[in-house]
Amino acid sequence: AQRHRDKLPLVAVVDAQLPSFPPGLAERLAEICRPYYFNRSASEQTEAKVDEAQVRGILLFGEDHVTDDVFQRFPNAVVISNFGVGVNHIDLDAATKRGVAVGHTPTVLNDATADLGFAILMAAARNVVTGDAICRDPELPVAQGQVQYPMSIIKLGVNVSGATVGIIGMGRIGRVFAKRCVGFDMRVLYHNRSRLAEEQEKQLGNAKYFSDVDSLLPECDFVVLFTPLTKQTRHMINEERLGKMKKNAILVNMARGAVVDTDALTKALADGTIRGAALDVTDPEPLPRGHPLLKASNVVLTPHIGSATTQTRSTMAWVVLDNLRLGLAGEPLKYQANKQLG
């Protein structure tokens, strides 16, 4: 058995949180490779050093940047398998130049991510988080021997049903999210690099296409971001564009934190330019302790958990292993981000 294991390819497992592995992943991983676990932020590695020139694959967790220095550290790697759909933290050009296939996990997390996007949209619209805090407040007033909810501190929310939603990034997840909106009789507007087919628009409540973001923003009660982070989309939502949104609008970011200019959003929320925000992602992530957004009552925050359900993470795990196995065998990946590699 040991002789068989010694023949398995060596794979660097980067920044993995082993207790959070889906059940069976570590065992299955050990069947297809020799995993070398290390955490780049740790002062000491938990396993003995290996000859990193022997590493043939990289299994990537977290979103620390993977640039050319990583490829120099593992010069003979042929595949990166990323646990997640976003690959903006991986230098795809450097990977492609070195012949390294980059795998990721699109499609399998569409429903879970869309569900969370709608959940935090609802939470921001209906003041769920502040309402929860009121219910738990040990200092609620007592009148005639009965604890009372003081109506003076209960802030009114806004309707979701029948409202207008603008979706920026109508890819797989954006379209799944739009289906949820249709169920709430919302008017669906969208901006995308390319327009959907007419039949797709009909299926999404006769969704209306906007060729530019600036003309979409003033129409929306909710603006929801699903666009990937690129040089073009970095700080797409800036001070100027926040100023074009309705004063009563709510911004929802399910994309990447840097799609939004954090300083501009902080200011817009503080001075009432927009009503509120719901953010599953931030820039930086996490926000520094003491950041104004952490104290803002008109912000709902979740810790980048779009795909964080038991079922979805389990499915992602098997896709990650499939991509890794195929890449080590020199075969096309199930889901490959740098498809130009062939």
Q: What is the three-class DSSP state of 144? A: coil
Q: Quickly tell me which residue has 């926040």 as its tokens.
A: 242
Q: What are the E-state strand segments in 195-285?
A: 208-210, 222-225, 250-253, 276-279
Q: How far is CA 139 from the centre of its chain?
A: 37
What is the distance between the alpha carbons of residues 288 and 265, in angstroms, rounded to a whole number? 15
256 flagged as catalytic:
yes
**Encoded tokens for 277:** 């925000």
**Which backbone phi and psi does 274 adopt, to 5 degrees?**
-130, 165
**Are the beta carbons of 47 and 37 closer than 8 angstroms?**
yes
Catalytic, out of 256, 275, 313, 325: 256
**DSSP code, position 272:** T
What is the distance between the alpha carbons of residues 339 and 342, in angstroms, rounded to a whole number? 6
**Are the beta carbons of 229 and 88 closer than 8 angstroms?**
yes
What is the distance between the alpha carbons of residues 74 and 70, in angstroms, rounded to a whole number? 6
304 flagged as catalytic:
yes
Catalytic, out of 52, 219, 239, 285: 285
Catalytic, out of 175, 187, 304, 325: 304
Whether the ω angle into residue 218 lies within 30 degrees of 0, i.e. cis, is no
Q: How far is CA 218 from the centre of its chain?
A: 25
235 flagged as catalytic:
no
Catalytic residues: 256, 285, 304
